[in-house]
Amino acid sequence: MKIWVPMDSAAKALGAEEVVAAIRAEALRRGVEIEIARNGSRGMIWLEPLVEVETPAGRMAFGPMTPEDVSALFEDGHEKALGLTDELDWMKRQTRLTFARCGITDPFSLEQYEALGGLVGLRRALGMTGEQITDEVKLSGLRGRGGAGFPTGIKWDTVRMAHADRKYIVCNADEGDSGTFADRMIMEGDPFCLIEGMTIGGIGCGATKGFVYTRSEYPDAVAVMRRAIDIARAAGVLGPDVLGSGKAFELEVRVGAGAYVCGEETSLLNSLEGKRGVVRAKPPLPALEGAFGKPTVVNNVISLATVPVIFEKGAEFYANFGLGRSKGTIPLQIAGNVRHGGLFETAFGMKLGQIVEDLGGGTASGRAVKAVQVGGPLGAYLGTDQFDTPFGYEEFDGEGALIGHAGLVVFDDTADMLGMARFAMEFCAVESCGKCTPCRIGAVRGVETLDRIAAGDAEAVPLLTDLCETMKDGSLCALGGFTPYPVMSALRLFPEEFGAVREAAE
């Protein structure tokens, strides 16, 4: 009897380790021989811990499991039996490309990884030139999944053509946005996918060393990545002779203290080098002068983890998914006041309302949806009258919003939007690196101005608008530059909560 129990942080937080202990104890009591295998999460967080039992028909899902539910697992007719995992509606409706193996394989089994298409892309890339590799990424239409949406292939090509004695590729795994967990899920559930993507990128750009930069709040992800790198190195996937190609690539995990601003690429590079995490002025761009003064690719986890499937199935296959210039798939991370929180990978183009009401099941409280914040704490709020907006970079930009890391946080009609606007400014004030005045001082003044509005001073609303314009145009990075998005969208959608009339807010 083979039983799969996730080792994902979300599953652990919801009691996975206690369930594992209960399964072992129950099997011992019954004298039943079992094998407990550990996997990543399938992404249905509301069903975690999701236990799967292997049957001749496939894996049977049970969840959310508690230690008290375990005894019935060894009998027929379990009340928490959900059916075959792959036949569940949440799973059947997805287009899983980046997350194809997540939750299916043992994260430390390179053999299982290869059995499901792993390393096919790397072996293909090893037979290509650097230019061919970067051209393939350009053709796929892959854009940065960390927030900016910059074409990945162009960034890679810039580093490839740069002249230097050494180049680097850095994975930005400093996942700090509220409601986001895709990076963590990949690192904990399918780490070889990220390793393969970074190796392809390094070979394509001429980088022989890569860094995975993540935060101290992700201890499980750090441990999994480090062990997976050791396994890959022992198997010849990393090292001085990648898969016998004669090409070298090495990888290392570096852990930051968890400053939000270190998600910005230049601040990240400073932290990576052991310096204080403050933003660097551009130019020079990191692609020309990045880590340790050398040309550096900086990409998000999901961008890099998507590269293997592009090289396995071809750029045109990947580009056939999506909407307009938003090519491929996007891992939606649905969170907040929602019935079905989790990760759902689908092609760009699904309407926001379908994501919230259909996939998410509406609010957990059962009340009406008031707003959805997309793109983390710096993302704009979208109201229900914007639910027909397709999920795409340009489409969201047209609504004064941004996709960011594709995290969606749902709020019901009890949410205090003036309070949420104040939180955005306070968050910026606390997390600012202090390098530029619009962010360092502007956010503090923003909190003060919102407190004036909360006290009934409606005449402070124009001052708030002016302040947001200054922060948006004058900040060195997106922390100060994007903080106005949640503030102004809250004011625009709910002016009555700010003591303003709708015309003035618009």
- In the prediction, which pLDDT does 35 show? 97
Superfamily of domain 2-92: Glutaredoxin (3.40.30.10)
Q: Which range (89-103, 105-119, 120-134, 141-155) has the least confidence?
A: 141-155
**Cα 324 from chain centroid?**
22
Chain mean pLDDT for the chain: 96
CATH 2.60.120.260 assigned to domain 110-319? The reply is no
Q: What CATH code is assigned to 417-494?
A: 1.20.1440.230
Crossing angle of helices 301-313 and 182-189, in 10° steps, is: 60
Q: How many CB atoms lie within 10 A of CB 433?
A: 22
Where do runs of H (alpha helix) occur along 260-408?
265-272, 301-313, 315-319, 352-353, 393-397
- Residue ranges, comma separated, of all CATH 3.40.30.10 domains in the chain are 2-92
Q: Residue 292: left if φ>0, alpha if ψ -120 to 50, beta else—which one?
A: left
Which among 70, 129, 103, 143 is positioned nearest to 318, based on CA atoms? 143
Expressed in angstroms, the distance from the first to the final Cα of the chain is 62
Mean of the pLDDT values across residues 421-446? 96
Residues composing the chain: 506
pTM, two decimals, is 0.96
Query: For the chain, what percent of residues have pLDDT higher than 70?
Result: 99
- Residue ranges, comma separated, of all CATH 1.20.1440.230 domains in the chain are 417-494
- Residue ranges, comma separated, of all CATH 3.10.20.600 domains in the chain are 322-412
Q: How confident is the model at residue 506 (pLDDT cuts 50, 70, 90)?
A: low
Q: How confident is the model at residue 501 (pLDDT cuts 50, 70, 90)?
A: low
Q: How many CB atoms lie within 10 A of CB 26?
A: 17
Which among 183, 179, 149 is positioned nearest to 408, based on CA atoms? 179
- Residue ranges, comma separated, of all CATH 3.40.50.11540 domains in the chain are 110-319
Q: How confident is the model at residue 500 (pLDDT cuts 50, 70, 90)?
A: low
Q: How confident is the model at residue 258 (pLDDT cuts 50, 70, 90)?
A: confident
Q: Where are the beta strands (DSSP E) in 76-167?
A: 81-84
Contact 301, 171 (CB under 8 A): yes
CB contact set of 227 (below 8 Å; sequence gap of 6+): 108
pLDDT at residue 412 greater than cutoff 80: yes
- In the prediction, which pLDDT does 149 show? 86
Residues 238-248 have pLDDT tens digits of 999 999 999 99
Alpha-carbon span 260 to 300, nearest angstrom? 15
pLDDT at residue 336 greater than cutoff 80: yes
225-255 b/e (C-beta count within 10 Å ≥ 16 → b): bbebbebbeeeebbeeebbeeebebbbebbb
- In the prediction, which pLDDT does 54 show? 96
Q: Which two tokens stand for residue 460?
A: 């402070």
Residues 33-83 have pLDDT tens digits of 999 999 999 999 999 999 999 999 999 999 999 999 999 999 988 899 999
Query: For the chain, what percent of residues have pLDDT higher than 90?
Result: 95
Contact 383, 377 (CB under 8 A): no
Q: Which residue has the tokens 């392809």?
A: 200
Q: How confident is the model at residue 24 (pLDDT cuts 50, 70, 90)?
A: very high
- In the prediction, which pLDDT does 27 show? 97
Q: What CATH code is assigned to 322-412?
A: 3.10.20.600
pLDDT at residue 502 greater than cutoff 60: no
Alpha-carbon span 104 to 41, nearest angstrom? 8
Mean of the pLDDT values across residues 17-32? 97
- In the prediction, which pLDDT does 260 show? 93
